[in-house]
Amino acid sequence: MKKIAISITALAILALSCSSGSANSLESSDQELSIKVTTVAETSGEDQTTGSDKPVYLTKQDFLEKVMNYEKNQSEWVYEGDLPALIDFYADWCGPCRKAAPILEELAKEYEGKIHIYKIDTEKEKELAAVFGIQSIPAFLFVPKSGKPTMSNGIAQTDEETKAMFKQMIDEILLKNES
């Protein structure tokens, strides 16, 4: 598990150092979905300093302010947040992404005040997807308050297994030093 985490961290750092690359286009489904995506600006000025009880949608500008300003810090990871964060890179047309969404909403309530759960729409924020080398979704970036982030892809077979997987990674990666 540590070798995988180290490899993923190395890939994330490499992706950050190559931030001038172009975004890979993701294939879209023929089906259109009518899902309303709420941005941080539309959440009526919610205070994000204490952790939210629901996932918060980030734009590039929000990411630069709340997570990591990769334009300013191109050679090292500098986390801008006040709490550890789980970042979901998703697309509306992605079935596994839609399956993970309600689980992340449950976890946002459960871990309110302990972590932030952010969502980044890879269709709207292609630069962010490119910076992190996102080629398949769902992809999840686990960002501890200090130290390097860890990337994970995909979900488990069942909702219960997926929730257990998230909880284990939150506890081991994000909250290990927070107790």
Known catalytic residues are 94, 97
DSSP E strands, the chain: 56-57, 85-90, 116-121, 139-143, 150-153
Q: Which amino acid is at 108?
A: A
Q: Residue holding tokens 């600006």?
A: 41
Beta bridge partners of 89: 120, 139
- Gap between the Cα atoms of 19 and 130, Å rounded: 7
Tokens of 68: 């990591």
- Gap between the Cα atoms of 1 and 42, Å rounded: 39
Tokens of 71: 């334009």
The DSSP-derived string for 54-103 is S-EE--HHHHHHHT--TTT-SSS-----SS-EEEEEE-TT-HHHHHHHHH
DSSP, res 42? G
